[in-house]
Amino acid sequence: MLCTKGIPTTEDLATRIPPEERRRKGPVVMIECFQKIPCNPCYTACKHGAIQKFEDINDLPSVNFDNCNGCGLCISKCPGLAIFVIDETYSETQATVSLPFEFLPLPHEGEEVDLLDRSGKKVGKGKVLKVRNGKYEDRTPVITVAVPKELSMVVRNIKVGGDVR
């Protein structure tokens, strides 16, 4: 499905999901990069040694999850928009997902948005907690949204403004 529709399968994702034990400790990166292409901005953006040095520029990113503090500096640096930070410790019932967002209008903190899965299908509603859009993000804002905890590994985009009629 990845090669034909651009949507990773459960098997594709299994190799990229941070271990459950690590997710219980706080925010952690998830890199949904599946194609070997010459790219490494995630590695150069990581100041904590979580994203491992590439032996070959075409390698897939490898993460040492124990070194990741969930800062999200890597999110806006990925040209493939394939990096997310998940925090399943946000509350008893909610997690947060920090994601790259290159659409207009930008959401506002506190705004309710539609939560979308990898295929663009609406899977629920969430609340925007933070919008990072400074010089470091370099025109790729990073949005942090509260989501139902069971959707932390599902939500990968948002739709601002609800249904357009």
Question: In this predicted model, what pLDDT tens digit does every residue of 103-142 receive, in sequence order?
Answer: 999 999 999 999 999 999 999 999 999 999 998 888 899 9
At residue 15, does pLDDT exceed 80? yes
Burial 102-121 (b: 16+ CB within 10 A, else e): eeeeebeeebebbbbbbeee
The reported pLDDT for the residue numbered 3 is: 57
Question: In this predicted model, what pLDDT tens digit does every residue of 72-103 receive, in sequence order?
Answer: 999 999 999 999 999 999 999 999 999 999 99
The Cα–Cα gap between 163 and 165 comes to 6
List the structure tokens of 93.
């019932």
**Which stretch of DSSP H or E encloses residue 116?**
strand 112-116
What's this model's pTM, rounded to 2 decimal places? 0.92
At residue 9, does pLDDT exceed 70? yes
The Cα–Cα gap between 141 and 109 comes to 13
